[in-house]
Copies of this chain bind each other. A is one copy, B any other.
Amino acid sequence: MSIGIMSTKTIGEKLRQLREENKLPLRKVAALLDIDVAILSKMERGERKLTKKVVLKLANIYKYSADNLLVLFLCDKIMYEIQDEDLGEKALEVAEKRVKYLKANKKK
């Protein structure tokens, strides 16, 4: 998975794009997900939070990479935490170091 191709869209925007490419109305997708149309509409526009489960179901419905969607999903959550913070970029760097450290020392 390359990073460049997916750096700008939010998970919601990506999901809307996928739905439109599949020419599916909110109504049908919401039915497949067994959630209300209003909620799906808000999820696509970032007004309601997505869940990992919904993201995975949508990857299956749209036949799109679940990993790509999950990265966008996590990225959105991260961006939400550091929004408008001057030190956001620095915090991301420290977090990366920490993740690498944890991965290197993970329990067996």
Contact = CB atoms under 8 A, between A and B. Distances in A.
Interface string A44-88: 000000000000000000000001001110110111011001011
A77 B80 CA distance: 10
A93 B96 contact: yes
What interface size band does chain A fall in?
Answer: 20 to 34
A74 B88 contact: yes
A71 B95 CA distance: 9
A42 interface: no
Contacts of A77: 81-82
B101 A96 contact: no
Contacts of A67: 87, 90
Given A67-B87, A89-B99, A89-B103, A94 B81 contact: no
